[in-house]
A and B are shown apart, each in its own frame.
Chain A
Amino acid sequence: MSTKTMIETNTPASTLRHKLRIDDVNMIFTRDGKSLPVLENINLEVFDGEFICLLGPSGCGKSTLLSAIAGFLKPTSGDILIDGEIVRGPDPRRIFVFQERGVFPWLTVEGNIGFGLGKLPRAERSRRIAHYVKMVGLEGFEKSYPHELSGGMKQRVEVARALAVNPDVMFLDEPFGALDSITRMIMRGELLRIWQAERKTILFVTHDIDEAVQLADRVVVMSARPGRIQEIVPIDIAHPRDISSPRYLELRDGILSQIGLAHNL
């Protein structure tokens, strides 16, 4: 009951508002005196509640772009605006999920999920923890330490820790990259379920084309370094998506040829 009302109050009034705007962002790293352009002229607008996948070859700057949007890196030039404000640093309203590596090994599952809830009263805190433990299916593991969990379970802990502070944006950098293919499929389904329930804006980095087409509202295809936005592909298939439907295959093949890969490798 209370779960329901909480979710409803979190739902944004208008779903077609701009949440994020990226204006002419460039990123140049300098290493050993040489400059390495990593991002070039990135322009992107993301709607509130939208699920965006960033897709591109390894080293094209996906993680760099995501870190910049999250406020961990400052772009060399250009602006990143969230809710109309320039991003100047990390913020609890926007949580970054670092694969499962960001789970704190010295805290239990409960301790991790409650990490960002220090300011809440005790009862509210444990209520929220219990809610998100249930949402990610970790009941019975509340008192376990991360080293006692599998990779997929740690990943859930980190997602739950992010959700618990009720952020409006979540950044996921190849969150399922380290998982086996079965767990990865399950986690995708769960992420979609959570996204549909909580309507966060999600930016999801992947280099798996199928993953992008299964999850995203729009797939942002990036070129090899220096990363540019090559194309933005809207995925106009309703969830749950039939991954053998002609439209799905058409979109996937379109992206494949977009990155210059033929059907038969």
Chain B
Amino acid sequence: MKLPVWLRPVLFILVLLGAWQLAVYLHPHQLLPGPIKTAHGITDLVHHGLIIKYTVASLFRVTWGFFLAVIVAVPLGLIIGWYRRAELAFNPILQILRPISPLAWIPIAILWFGVGDLAAVFLIFVGCFLPLLLTVINAVQSVPAVYINAGRNFGLGPVTLMRRVLYPAIAPRLMTGLRITLGLAWLVVVAAEMIAVNSGLGFLIIDARNAGNRYDLVLAGMVIIGVVGLLLDNGIRSLERAKALRWGYAEKS
């Protein structure tokens, strides 16, 4: 008997859920709530209207933090990558800032912006900005010289060269960078919401634990975070299939 391809992951998930339920049944008080209780938790949250509310709150912060990081990091990366010497001046700072986890900025975010959306947006911005900037700088520096020379040959000045040659030349790598960074933003928002705000999916998890050890709600929150993260990734992946970007992936295969 041969299973259709789409059925295999579904079956696999069902098997795992079954094993989880069985483990919980065998050791009732030592483990997590089982999948059934978790499902109840999710319906509970739906009834209270919390899922939509918190998901929207988290997405709102991610959107702003990510968006701000993109509009600052992409042009800046193009300029730094283009003017090599500027890159040398920036480089030590970037290398020191890079290993600092965005979560290390939480106290400063609260100090500057208080507890609220702004602090969370700031943290996401911090988390996305450097990886994006470095992606763009590296991408610009690896643009083949022939494209730049061809652009100059047709009479392009620095600004049009960036718009008509550098930017499209890095677009495929930029898209990959955006996808990775958006994933990062989704990781950061959950952590930020556990501390810096009192709404959102991260807050939901920490609040469910603090206010009465509702581990079913904790797990429900985790499931939702996973599902939304997957949807975000799929959304941005569909952008990668745009025709003008496909060359970047076609050439490698």
Contact = CB atoms under 8 A, between A and B. Distances in A.
Interface of A: 70, 72, 89-92, 94-96, 98, 101-102, 104-107, 115-116, 145-147, 165
A104 B147 contact: yes
A147 B252 CA distance: 11
Contacts of A92: 153-155
* Central interface residue in A72, A95, A106, by most chain B CB within 10 Å: A106
Contact of B169 (A91, A106, A115): A106
A104 B243 contact: no
Contacts, number: 58
Contact of A70 (B146, B153, B169, B171): B153
Contacts of A107: 168, 244
A174 to B, nearest CB: 13
Interface string B220-253: 0000000000000000000000011111101100
9 contacts: A90-B155, A95-B154, A98-B149, A104-B169, A106-B245, A106-B247, A145-B247, A145-B250, A146-B247
Interface string B63-98: 000000000000000000000000000000000000
Contacts of A94: 153
Contacts of B144: 101
A90 B149 contact: yes
A147 B154 contact: no
Given A96-B153, A106-B168, A147 B250 contact: yes
A70 B248 CA distance: 29
A115 B154 contact: yes
B142 to A, nearest CB: 14
B152 interface: yes
Contacts of B152: 72, 89-90
A94 B154 CA distance: 9
Residue from A98, A102, A105, A147 with most neighbouring chain B CB atoms (10 Å): A105
A52 to B, nearest CB: 19
Contacts of A115: 154, 164
A192 B244 CA distance: 33
A3 B169 CA distance: 34
A116 B149 contact: no
B150 interface: yes
Q: Which 5 A-B pairs have the closest CB atoms?
A: A105-B247, A116-B154, A106-B168, A92-B155, A90-B153
B115 to A, nearest CB: 45
B32 interface: no
A66 B229 CA distance: 53
A105 B251 contact: yes
Contact of B150 (A89, A98, A145): A98
Contact of A106 (B150, B153, B155, B171): B171
Nearest to B153: A90
A107 B149 CA distance: 16
B241 to A, nearest CB: 13
B243 A145 contact: yes
Contacts of B243: 145
B180 to A, nearest CB: 21
B172 to A, nearest CB: 8
Nearest to A165: B154
A165 B153 CA distance: 11
Interface in B100-152: 144, 146-147, 149-150, 152
Interface string B162-182: 001100110100000000000
A116 B155 contact: yes
Given A90-B149, A106-B247, 19 more contacts: A72-B152, A90-B153, A90-B155, A92-B153, A92-B155, A95-B153, A102-B146, A102-B149, A104-B147, A105-B247, A105-B248, A106-B171, A107-B168, A115-B154, A115-B164, A145-B246, A145-B247, A147-B246, A165-B154
Contacts of B251: 105, 147
Q: Which of B150, B153, B246 has the most CB of A within 10 A?
A: B153
